[in-house]
Structure formats: C-alpha cells, structure tokens
C-alpha cells in the first residue's frame, strides 16, 4: 500500500512546505500553516482531458507565425455585466466572482444564465439542491429551455456530465464546495481550491468555453482560498454593497481583456437584480432642498460619472474629545480637510463634533469629492443651506487651493444632464474644456476662501 502523502499549506497565500513553519516565507504571516492530505495512495479517476478523450498536439511555434483573429465576445442582455467585463464575455475565459454571503451572487448569475437563452448554459450548484434553485428561478420568472442544472461537488462527475451536454457557458456555485478526487483533503482547503480551479482552467482553455466561478470571502473581506486563485483566473469581480440598502456594485479587480476601472450598479428587488442605468438620479433623489450641510459632488466610479450627495453635520462637542465620524469616506482625508479649514480659513473645528456621510451607502475614493465635503462642512458650520442647483468637482490641497481633476468634461455633462444650473470646478481645469459648449454655468475658482465668499 502506498504511503499517505501530506503537505503544509499557508492559509493566507497558499505557500506549500514539506514541514510546519511558524512564519510563512511567502507572505511573512505567523501561524498560518495547516496540514492537508494530498494522496492516500488510492487509484484516481481521470481528470478533464478534452471532449475527445485524447491529448492535443503540443508544439513550439514562432511568435510571427501565430495568427490572431478578431476578438469575438459573447454580448449578454445585461449592459452592466458587458461593461464590467470590457464589452462582453470572452470565450475561454475564467471569471471569479466574490462577495459577502447573502449579497446576491447566486441570484445575479442564475439570472445571467437564464437570460443567456442563445447559449447552452450549465449551472453547477454545490450549495443548494435542485428544488432550491428551481424556487429562485421561479421567482426570477425568466423562461429558458437551454438552461441545465447540476447539483454535484465531485469534479470528475461534473466533467462527465459536461462531456455529455457540451455547454457553451458554465457557472459554478461555488468553487469552495467542489472536491477533486486527485486531492484527499476536504473541500474548501487550499489544495482543493487550487486543484479544482486548475481543472476548470484547463477545460475553459481547451474547449473555448467561458466559466464563471462564484467564490466566498473571508471575514477580512479578502477572497477565500490561496492568493494563487486570483492569479489563475482571467478576471476577478467583486460583488459588494450594504445589505441594508437595495443597491449592489459589481466591481472589476482584475481583467486581462479590459479595463479594471469599470463597475456595474444593480438594485435588489423581489424579482431579481435590476440594472440601474442612471445611478445619479437615485443617489440624489431623496435630497431636501432647504437643509444645511448637504452638497452634491460630481465624482467618477471607474469610467462612469456619478453625482452623489455629501451630508455633513457640525455640532458643539459635549465630551472633552471631539468626535470625527465618517460613512463612505476616508476618515484621515476628513481630518486633513478640517486642518485646511482651520489653518487657511480660520474656522474653529477643534471643539466641534464632525459627522460626514455619503448618501446611498456607497464608498467614494475619488479625491474630486473634497470640494463638496468642504462646502457641506461650511454649510453645516454656518447653518446656511447651499443652493440646490449647484454641484462641485475639485480636489483640495494642503494650502487651500482647489486642484484640477481628470475627465472634467464628463462630470460637467452629467451635471447638465441632471438639470443642475451651476458647477464649481478648479481654475486649473480651464484648459480642459470649453465653457461655451455647455448650457450649464461653469465657475472656475482657485481657492477655498473664494468658494466661501461666493456661496456665503
């Protein structure tokens, strides 16, 4: 009888070692090694080796002899998914989708599979029974006779069914539940995730079939499994959002076939995920006109311009140490902007509590939101509401200057489309656009004190 083979794997980065180590040489983390059984010496079933059960011819070719055809993409009925993937699904691509439990990953890609009625779709579920998936599909109410369901976790059985069906799109929910007979460790372990992903990667590349792998995330927000999982796949998508809000964001973290700065926005409804084609109207729809501490920022999420509402509240501090609380904004950035207002503007925030919230539950990292935050803080400080027809786009420097931001034309066009009458931008953006080309009034200012004198 063969000897049982074991190895130690780092649960953080997937580093493999023959013995236990206290500190991982790969990621320098402590106490992350776990022992996993690789081989018990039993005979293994055959892995994926192509539809024809034969080996493909392998030969070395010169680079100039490789013929490149025009890239053909599968354009889905979901415009947001097409945008995030860079124009559609690339045949033979391996896409990893990760997100928190209950955020709607399974619902979204069950909906995508049902909508792709021009393709033969195989949905592999390792977490739910056929009846459970059927109940969700009935709720979505999307008829599709080319949609097939397989509830199985053994990859050898899955590939046997794939040979019979020969699907044109495969969706796996989820990769952490699958188990390959080549590895004797439990499902969800580092070696199992790596082996199952490698088998699906080989299947996708040899048959030119796109595969979506739905994955879990850890309590820290990272994708569960070894880091090599993200290196193996072609595209990594993050499905995120606050479960207390109806909106979800599908964000690109890695894309070999397109931009990594794209995102799609969905709204969770009783009938599935609804595409939000114009999120700016929703993010500023519940705005009260006559309340202080509210400003509209023209920001960018990826390639898409968004108008978001920035809310600020400045109150007298009751305790000895004033509070600084933010939601959807960087706390250190808020402290920087408060220091600029104190040093360059003479406003005393030292004994006041400051609260900043980005309405709608989204997180904004674009520095062009600085000017709107400053104006919302000043509006709450003076208790004077801002005009409801004005929006802002500008980064604030440490000297109190308003710095230029990129792609200012798209921001101005979005504000004009939503009916705003004036947008305040940086003086240094003047060369980037022609004010006569817009119906909206574009006011270019250079310093924060000029904005304060203009508004208050």
Which pLDDT does position 287 carry in this prediction?
Answer: 59
Q: Is 241 flagged in the annotation as binding?
A: no
Q: Which residues of the chain have pLDDT under 50?
A: 1, 43, 54
Distance CA 74, CA 78 (A): 11
The candidate with the shortest Cα–Cα distance to 374, out of 445, 293, 439, is: 293
pLDDT tens readout for residues 402-452? 999 988 988 998 888 888 899 999 998 888 788 788 889 999 999 999 999
Q: Annotated binding residue at 128?
A: no
281-455 shares the fold of 73-277: no
Q: Is 77 annotated as a binding residue?
A: no
Asked if residue 143 belongs to a known ligand binding site, the reply is: no
Ligand-binding annotation for 103, yes or no, is: yes
263 to each of 82, 92, 251, 260, how far by Cα in Å?
10, 22, 5, 9
pTM: 0.73
Determine whether the annotation assigns residue 100 to a binding site. Answer: yes
What pLDDT is attached to residue 325? 93
pLDDT per residue over 312-362, tens digit each?
999 998 877 889 999 989 999 999 999 999 998 888 888 899 999 998 777
Q: What's the CA gap between 166 and 261, in Å, rounded?
A: 34
Ligand-binding site membership of 134 (annotated): no
Q: How far apart are CA 296 and CA 421, in angstroms?
A: 12
**Tokens 């090694």, residue?**
33
Strands 402-403 and 395-396: antiparallel
Q: 296 φ, ψ to 5°?
A: -105, 130
* 157 CB neighbour count, 10 Å cutoff: 13
How high is the pLDDT of residue 68? 77
* Secondary structure E strands in 256-337: 263-269, 272-275, 294-301, 304-316, 324-327
* Residue 3, pLDDT score: 64
**Residue corresponding to tokens 């500008």:** 394
Q: Which of 431, 399, 433, 398 is nearest to 298 (CA)?
A: 433
d(CA 283, CA 277): 12
CA–CA separation, 272 vs 288, rounded Å? 30
With the C-alpha atoms ordered 170, 220, 80, 78, is the resulting torsion angle positive or negative? positive
CATH no., domain 73-277: 3.40.50.300
Domain range summary for the chain, segments of one domain joined by +: 5-39, 73-277, 281-455
Is 99 annotated in a binding site? The answer is yes
- The topology (CATH level 3) of 281-455 is Ribosomal Protein S5; domain 2 (3.30.230)
Residue 245 three-state SS: coil
């Amino acid at each position: 009888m063969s000897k049982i083979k074991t190895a130690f794997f780092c649960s953080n980065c997937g580093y493999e070692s023959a013995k236990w180590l206290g500190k991982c040489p790969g990621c320098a983390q402590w106490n992350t090694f776990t022992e996993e059984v690789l081989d018990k010496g039993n005979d293994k079933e055959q892995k994926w080796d192509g539809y024809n059960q034969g080996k493909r011819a392998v030969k070395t070719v010169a680079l100039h002899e490789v013929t490149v055809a025009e890239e053909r993409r599968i354009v889905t009925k979901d415009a947001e998914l097409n945008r995030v993937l860079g124009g559609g699904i690339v045949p033979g691509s391996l896409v990893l989708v990760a997100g928190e439990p209950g955020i709607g990953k399974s619902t979204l890609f069950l909906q995508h599979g049902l909508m792709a009625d021009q393709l033969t779709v195989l949905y592999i579920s390792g977490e739910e029974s056929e009846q459970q998936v059927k109940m969700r599909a009935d709720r979505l109410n999307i008829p599709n006779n080319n949609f097939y369901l397989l509830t199985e976790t053994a990859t050898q059985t899955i590939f046997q069914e794939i040979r019979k069906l020969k699907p044109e799109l495969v969706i796996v929910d989820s990769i952490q539940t699958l188990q390959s007979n080549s590895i004797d460790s439990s499902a969800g372990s580092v070696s199992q995730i790596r082996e199952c992903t490698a088998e699906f990667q080989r299947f996708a590349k040899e048959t030119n079939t796109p595969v979506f792998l739905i994955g879990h995330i850890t309590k820290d927000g990272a994708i569960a499994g070894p880091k090599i999982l993200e290196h193996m796949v072609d595209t990594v998508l993050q499905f995120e959002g606050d479960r207390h809000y109806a909106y979800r964001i599908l964000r690109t973290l890695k894309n070999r076939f397109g931009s990594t700065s794209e995102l799609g926005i969905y709204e969770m409804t009783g009938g599935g995920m609804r595409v939000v084609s114009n999120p700016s109207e929703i993010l500023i729809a519940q705005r009260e006109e006559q309340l202080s501490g509210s400003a509209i920022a023209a920001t960018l999420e990826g390639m898409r311009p968004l108008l978001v509402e920035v809310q600020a509240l400045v109150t007298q501090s009751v305790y000895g140490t004033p509070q600084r609380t933010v939601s959807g904004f960087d706390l250190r950035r808020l402290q920087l902007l408060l220091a600029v207002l104190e040093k360059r503007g003479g406003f005393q925030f030292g004994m006041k509590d400051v609260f900043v919230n980005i309405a709608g539950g989204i997180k904004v990292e674009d520095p062009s939101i600085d000017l709107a935050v400053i104006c919302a803080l000043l509006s709450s400080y003076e208790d004077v509401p801002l005009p409801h027809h004005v929006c802002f786009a500008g980064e604030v420097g440490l000297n109190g200057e308003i710095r230029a931001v990129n792609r200012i034309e798209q921001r101005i066009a979005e504000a004009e489309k939503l009916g705003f009458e004036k947008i305040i931008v940086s003086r240094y953006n003047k060369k980037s656009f022609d004010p006569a080309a817009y119906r909206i009034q574009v006011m270019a200012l250079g310093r924060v004190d000029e904005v304060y004198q203009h508004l208050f």
